Each structure stands twice: as structure tokens, then as C-alpha cells.
Amino acid sequence: MQLVEPHKKREGGRVREASVPPLAPEVTGGSLADIPFTNAAEAPGEPALSRRGRDGTWWDMTARDFAAEVQAMAKGLIALGLQPGDRLAIMARTTYEWTLTDFAAWAAGLITVPVYPTSSASQARHILRDSRARACFVEDVEQSRMLSAERGNLPALEHLWQFTAGAVGHVVDAGRAIPDALVAERRAQLGPQHIATLIYTSGTTGPPKGCVLTHGNFFAEVDNAIELLYPVFKVRYDDPPSTLLFLPLSHVFGRMVAIGCLRARVRLGHAPSIKTEDLLPDLAAFAPTFLLGIPYVLEKIYNTGRATAEQMGRASSFDRGARIAQRYGEAIEAQEHGFGSGPGFGLRAARGLYDTLIYRRIRAVLGGRCRYVICGGSPLGHRLAAFFEGAGVTVYEGYGLTETTAATTVTPPLKPRLGTVGWPVPGTALRIADDGEVLIKGDHVFCGYWDARTESAIPHRDAEGWMPTGDLGALDSEGYLSITGRKKDVIITSAGKNLAPAPLEDWLRAHPLVSQCLVIGDNRPFVSALVTLEPDGLAHWQRMHKKEHLSMAELLVDGDLLHNLQQAVDEANSLVSRAESIRKFVVLPRDFTEEAGHLTPSLKLRRGAIVRDFAAEIDQLYAR
């Protein structure tokens, strides 16, 4: 396929705007509800999804069978009194039942509302009350009890069903007398302009807001992504594409990929647990050809591989192999951009040697057949992107928001620029405002934020149709976007120096000893940081330094540990000027968690809550 480069507009010698025309035709009729039925009509015997049995093995479900289950559940939802436009909430981990309910609700004409499975009672109550959900599916008894206790605060909620208590069967049984034609009638009433879902934001600075996404928003997103990422979604070398989804379906990223897989007829599996002991066996048994993840997952794989090598006395070999992989990935990048001849004979030979020793084991962690990873959430960084490319796993890094139905930029196939978040997704235009804020246009951009009073969307665009993102970024000479931080997170020191904390935080978070990092310095004389420790990385460090006997209190003042962390801080500081560098840091005795209110359900830092709760530690950093 011909790769379409962005059209660029320059102002003052800099690229201020980049746009790419759509690769897929606009969908002018129908809705997401039609996807299972279209697949069943055109490819009834093809695998649509895979499900894991109790013995750990995976079995395929055909397009015909999935459409039949969607139809049966949709009939039950209709029989139980739900009307077109009613909101139905889903609070569960990443499971087959989640995707089934999503499509069944659409087939019944409903609007689905995801709720993070880890949400507190107050968080879930806000979403259910604001959306006026009439029905809610939960996964387990704990969630059921939590919401049952809130029923008095949720006057619109009439139905509460539990997946593990047979909810799907209950709903299906209720609809056995409903004719199939009624579901077809509900589907026929939907078009691209109708609301498909309300996805609530993380709420880092206030109450979560409901993003109104239409069926047309999803079509614009997934159809263009499928065409752009053709090596991922289309059959190559007689190896049918497949993916095991383990990111939450309550997040727009996971949801978009699930819809995209069904749209592109890519075999889809669900993994509800991301614990290492659960996920690795699932990956090995499923053997996906591509995955979607967040930088944390790739950082964990790299750091675990390095720690294992160190335990075996092969740390220096791993480090040499990592350098070879990075050089190889950079040579491939240079070749594809036309300013290099690609890996030379010596580099190719060295890569072949380390492929057996190191890279093959990295790929084995991903299931053995994985060749692509779609990565989003925060910047991965040039070093890790180059390493995985050299190790035989191409990372397509992207950037997007709930408001843009997930990705709005992505690394273009055959022309990556490592360390950036790529070019605009086809059908998208980007602009950098005078203050550095990223502005977006496109058919994948949401209608606006949900207004519970009018049950409609409040538009969130300027007079020219540009949506402000709140993110700061820059476009290079070829139209590649780099994200430098959040506009609201910009730190202004007492000396008047402006800086975005994200690059420092992302770099430090990639270190095996670091779990989270919060850079501070607003109205302060210099920049400092709060650092938390990564449990696995810390345990490995203690074993290697023979300090397993030390308590947490002793570790926080241990000279060797602080020296290693200072080295990491020094490396991060090399990215910025002296005025922007971290002068002091403190290691906290506990991690930032969602339960403590320091992280959102999508693992973003709640900066205000952290600064409030660790005010004493911050004051000590600036004490004379």
C-alpha cells in the first residue's frame, strides 16, 4: 500500500499543522451493531473470537456463533424493557462477556457505559448517576454488593446483573419469545450519527466527564487504523492475525482495538488478569501475532529480562545484546527514512548471535509469534522502541484521548521515527497552537461532553472545528508529533523557568527500581521529585546486593540504593537543561495507588492529591 505522507503548513519557519487524508471511505449508514451480523453473513465459519476453557486451552468461536449469541442477548435486553437510547453500564475485567454485552446492547439500540472494575463506590455512583443508566452488568459478587448498597442513590437503575452468577443466561432466557425481527428493527434505526457509548474521563483534576462517542466516530477510527496498520490487521505469510486483549475494555484504547478486530475479522481473545503468573501462560497458549499495551508492560518485559540475566551472571551479555538491538533498530529507522544504508554485515551477524541468546526469549514472553505491539498511554522513548525493533518486535507508538476515540496519531508502517508518536491517523488534522497546545480535527473526534440535564452532548471545539487537547507538543519538519507534557502540569519555578515534567517522569519510570515519579517545583526555587520503588525491581536489587534483611525504613536511607537512584536521576537530567533538572529527590515508603486516591483507574497521577498527602516530604526537600 502507498504510504500517504502528511500535508504540512508552516508558520515562522516551523511546521504548525499536519494532516493526512482518509484511507477508508466514510460510513454513511448502519452502526457497530451490524458488525457481527455482517461477519456471519459473509464469513460464517471463520473464527471471530477465542475463548479459554477451564483447562487453560483456547477454542475458537465462529462468526456465525458469535452473531447468534449477540442476537439472543439483545432479545433478552428488549424483553426486560430496555428502550432505544437507554444507557447500560458494564463493570468488569477484560472478558468475553464484556464484548458480547457491548454488541448485544448496540443490537438492542442501547448506549453502553463502561465503568472501571477497580472503581470505588463513589466513582461508580458518579458514572451511573450522571449517565442515568437503567441497567448495569457487574462481574463478581463484590461489585454486586458494592452497587447494591448504592441503589438508594441511583433512582434510574432498575437492573443489576452479575456475570459470574449467570447473568448472560438469565437475560437470554428472558428473550426467548422475542422475534428476531425486533432486533433487526432496532438495528435498522441506528446510524453513524447515533451515540454508541459514554466513556468517562479519568478525572485527574475533577469529577470524570462523559465523552459522547458515536458509531461514526468508531468507524472513522477503526477503518482508517486497519488500512494504515495493514501489517497488523491483515494476513501475511499465511499467518492469520490474532491478538490477546488484556488492557481494560473500560478504556477507549482497548475498546477500539476490540471493535477493530471484529471489524477486520481478526481472531480476538480476552485475558482478565495482567498478573505475570496469569498473563504469561495465556500468552504462551494463545500465541498472538500482535498485542496492544502501555509502556509499563514493555518496560517490565525489558527489566525482567535484564534482571534474569543478572541472576544468571550474564548481565554484561544482556547489556551488549541490548546495545546491538538498539543500534539495529536505529539502522532500520535510518534506512527507511533514506539517510542510511541499513544494518551492515557485522551488525546483522551480531544481531543473529544475540537473537538466539536474548531476543528469542523476549519474544517468547509475548507468546512466541508476536511481531507487532501497538503502544499508547504515554511515550515509550527512543531507547526501548529501538531495542524492541532490533529484537524483532515492531512497536507502533501512538497518541490519543478518549475524546478522539483512541489514537489520533500513530507510527507509520515502513517509516517509523523512534521516540515520536508518529503521523496523524488518516482522516486527521493536527495543529500546534501559539502556546504549544495540540489541537485536533477529524471524524473520530467526539461530539462533546455529556450533559445529564439534557441527555445530549456539549460541543468542545472552537469556531473552526479544532478540539483543544490540553497536551503540549511539537511537529517536526516531516509532520511527526512529539508530546512534551500536559498544559495544566507545566511547572513554573520561582525563578520563572517553565518546564513540562513528563519527559523526566517517563524516563525515571522506565528504570527497574522506580515504580512512579512525580516531578515538582511550581513556585519553588528548583525542581525536585517524589520517587516510589518498584517491588520486583527492589527485590531483585536486594538479592544482588545481599540486602534482603533490610527493612523498608533501612532501605530508604541505604547509601547503595540511593546511589543507584541518583544515577537514574542523572541520566534523566541529561535530557534537560540545568535549570530544568532534578536537584533533589526523596524515596517514599509506599507506592502511589488507586486505592489511596493517588492514581486514576487508567494509572495517571492525581498530582493534587499526591502533593497534598506528601506535603511534609515536599517541604523537607526545600528546607534549608
Stated pTM of the model: 0.85
- Check whether 1 has a pLDDT greater than 50: no
**Angle at the Cα of 429 from the Cα atoms of 426 and 430, rounded to 5 degrees:** 125
CB 461 within 8 A of CB 447: no
Which is more confidently placed, 294 or 344?
344
pLDDT tens digits, one per residue of 256-272: 999 999 999 999 999 99
Q: pLDDT at position 420, please?
A: 83
Q: What are the Cα distances from residue 406, in Å, to 222, 260, 345, 395?
A: 9, 12, 40, 17
CA-to-CA separations, 277 to 148, 280, 281, 308, in angstroms, rounded: 32, 6, 7, 16
CA distance 423 to 137: 38
Distances (CA, A) of 544 to 268, 288, 574: 40, 34, 27
Yes or no: say if 15 and 479 are a contact pair by the CB < 8 Å rule. yes
In 3-state terms, what secondary structure has residue 506? helix
Q: Which string of DSSP letters, residue by residue, matches 282-295?
A: HHHHH--SEEEE-H
Which residues is 439 bridged to in the sheet? 431, 468
- What's the 3-state SS for 130-156? HHCCCEEEECCHHHHHHHHCCHHHCCC
- Confidence bin at 296 (pLDDT 50/70/90): confident
Q: Which of 221, 293, 291 is nearest to 260 (CA)?
A: 221
Q: pLDDT at position 588, please?
A: 93
pLDDT at residue 479 greater than cutoff 90: yes
Q: Measured between alpha carbons, how far is 568 from 571 in angstroms, rounded to an integer? A: 5
Show the 3-state SS of 58-104.
EEEEEHHHHHHHHHHHHHHHHHCCCCCCCEEEEECCCCHHHHHHHHH
Quick one: pLDDT at residue 624?
A: 62
Residue located via cell numbers 465459519 = 45
In angstroms, the CA 424 to CA 473 distance is: 13
- Amino acid letter at 288? P
Q: Tell me the three cell numbers of residue 595.
A: 486505592
Handedness of CA 49, 53, 55, 59 (dihedral sign): negative
Cα separation, 114 vs 137, in Å, equals 10
d(CA 513, CA 332): 30
* Cell numbers describing residue 394: 515492531
Domains and CATH numbers, the chain: 8-16+289-441+466-484 (no CATH), 32-190 (3.40.50.12780), 490-621 (3.30.300.30)
**Residue pointed to by grid coordinates 483447562:** 55
Beta carbons of 376 and 398 less than 8 angstroms apart: yes
Report d(CA 598, CA 135) in Å as an integer. Answer: 30
Q: Which pLDDT tens digit goes with each residue over 34-71?
A: 999 999 999 999 999 999 988 888 999 999 999 999 99
Selection from 290, 455, 272, 294 nearest residue 368 by Cα: 290
The mean of the pLDDT values for the chain is 91
Handedness of CA 407, 203, 259, 93 (dihedral sign): positive
Q: Which tens digits make up the pLDDT trace of 559-612? A: 999 999 999 999 989 878 888 899 999 999 999 988 888 988 777 888 888 999
Phi, psi (degrees; rounded to nearest 5) at 50? -120, 145
Grid coordinates belonging to 105: 446492547
**DSSP string of 507-527, one letter each residue:** HHHTSTTEEEEEEE-TTSSSE
- Rounded to whole angstroms, the Cα distance separating 13 from 1 reads 32
